[in-house]
Amino acid sequence: MDLLSIEKFLCDLSVNQVGPIIKKKSGTQHVYDLKTGERAVDIVTAIDKQVEKLIWDSLKEQYPDFKFVGEESYVKGVTTITDDPTFIVDPIDGTTNFVHDFPFSCTSLGLTINKEPVVGVIYNPHLDLLISASKGNGIRINREPFDHKAKLESMGPLYLNKSVVALQPGSAREGNNFKTKMKTYESLLSCDEGFVHGFRNLGSTAMTLAYIATGNLDSYWDGGCYSWDVCAGWCILKEAGGIIVGANPGEWDIPIDNRSYLAVRGTTEEGGKELQKKYVDDFWKCVKGKLSYD
C-alpha cells in the first residue's frame, strides 16, 4: 500500500476542504451539545458533524474498501477497530478551543492497518500548520521534510525533572479519574517528587502529540481520550522516535483505543531507548491512583 500517497490525499483534504471551514466557523458556535452530561464539558457542535460527513464522503469515494471510525459517528459498544485498513478521524480536535475561538483547534486524520497507526495528518488552519507522517517516510511540516533528529539534539537530555509536560483535566469533573489526575498533577509539580519544569494544556490531544513529535514538548499524560484523538499523532510521534504507553504504571503495550496514554518524545542520546524507559518509570512513580474508563 502506498502510504505516502494516502498521506498526500489526507493533506490535500485537510488544507483545501476541512481547514477553511474550521477557520471560518471558529468562535461562531454558541449553541452546542454536551455529550457526556451536565457534570462534564464534552462539547460537540453542528460543525463537528458537518466536517465529519465531508471527510467521510471524500474518503469513501477515494478509498471505498477502507473502514471508517469517526468521533461523531462512534457508537459505544458497536464501533470497533479491526485489522482492516481503517481511517480514524477527529473532524475538529479541540472543540472547546473552537467554540471559544482559541487558535488550537485542528482536524486530525489517521489510518491504521492491523490496528497500527501508519498515516497521520494534523492541520491547524488558524496557524496554517500542517504536520504529517506515514510509516517509514518520516515527518513533514507544511509538506517539507522535518529534521526531527536535529531538533531533538538541541533539546538536551530527556529527564523528568527537566521536562515540560502536557496535561489536560478532561471533560469529566468528578469521580476517581478526576481525583487521580489532580493528585498526579500535584505529584509531578512537587519539589519532593517529579519536580517538572512546568505544565502546558493546549486543549487538543492531536496538537499536543504533534508538538511532542516536533520537539516543542517532552511528554503528555492523559485519560479519557479516544482512538480518534491519538491516531494521527501516534503515527507522527513514532516517526520522530517517540513512544506511547499507558497512563497507568506497567502498561507498556497498549492498543490504540486504550483510553489513557503517556506519550514521550524521542532522544538522540546514547542509550535513548533506556532513557525513554527510565523517563516512563519515573513518571509512573508520580501517578497517584489509577485511570479507568469503560
- Residues 208/213/218/219 CA torsion (nearest 10 deg): 50
Using pLDDT thresholds of 50, 70 and 90, give the confidence band for residue 31. Answer: low
Marked catalytic residue, from 229, 239, 243, 267: 229
Give the span between the Cα atoms of 85 and 76, in whole angstroms: 20
Pairing outcome for strands 219-223 and 164-167: parallel
Q: Which residues are annotated as a binding site for Mg(2+)?
A: 71, 90, 92-93, 229
Give the span between the Cα atoms of 201 and 268, in whole angstroms: 26
Is the whole-model pTM more than 0.85?
yes
Residue 218 predicted with pLDDT over 70: yes
Q: Is 38 a catalytic residue?
A: no
Spans of all domains in the chain: 3-146, 152-286
The CATH classification number of 152-286 equals 3.40.190.80
Residue 208 predicted with pLDDT over 60: yes
* 3 state SS of 191: coil
Q: Give the burial class of 78: count Cβ atoms within 10 A of its Cβ; 0-12 exposed, 13-18 middle, 19 or more buried.
A: exposed
Bin 181: left if φ > 0, else alpha if -120 < ψ < 50, else beta: alpha
Q: Which residues are annotated as a binding site?
A: 71, 90, 92-93, 229
Q: Is 7 a catalytic residue?
A: no
Residue 32 predicted with pLDDT over 70: no
What value does the mean pLDDT take over residues 165-175?
Answer: 88
What value does the mean pLDDT take over residues 155-160?
Answer: 93
Using pLDDT thresholds of 50, 70 and 90, give the confidence band for residue 182. Answer: very high
Give the span between the Cα atoms of 39 and 200, in whole angstroms: 24
Q: Residue 28 carries which side chain, given as an amino acid letter? A: T
Q: Is 33 a catalytic residue?
A: no
Marked catalytic residue, from 48, 72, 90, 218: 90
Q: Is 90 a catalytic residue?
A: yes
- Domains 3-146 and 152-286 are alike in CATH topology: no
Marked catalytic residue, from 88, 92, 122, 244: 92
Residue 140 predicted with pLDDT over 60: yes
Marked catalytic residue, from 7, 48, 52, 71: 71
The CATH classification number of 3-146 equals 3.30.540.10
| pLDDT at 262 (0 to 100) | 98
Q: Is 92 a catalytic residue?
A: yes
Give the span between the Cα atoms of 256 and 260, in whole angstroms: 10
The CA–CA distances, whole Å, from 277 to 95, 189, 245, 262, 291 equal 33, 20, 10, 12, 20
| pLDDT at 183 (0 to 100) | 98
Contact 243/278 with Cβ under 8 angstroms? no
Strand order across the 106-113 sheet: 67-70, 86-93, 106-113, 116-124, 129-134, 139-141, 144-145
Q: Is 71 a catalytic residue?
A: yes
| pLDDT at 33 (0 to 100) | 59
Give the span between the Cα atoms of 102 and 219, in whole angstroms: 22
276-286 pLDDT, tens digit per residue, is: 999 999 999 99
| 262 HSE (CA, 13 A, CB side) | 24
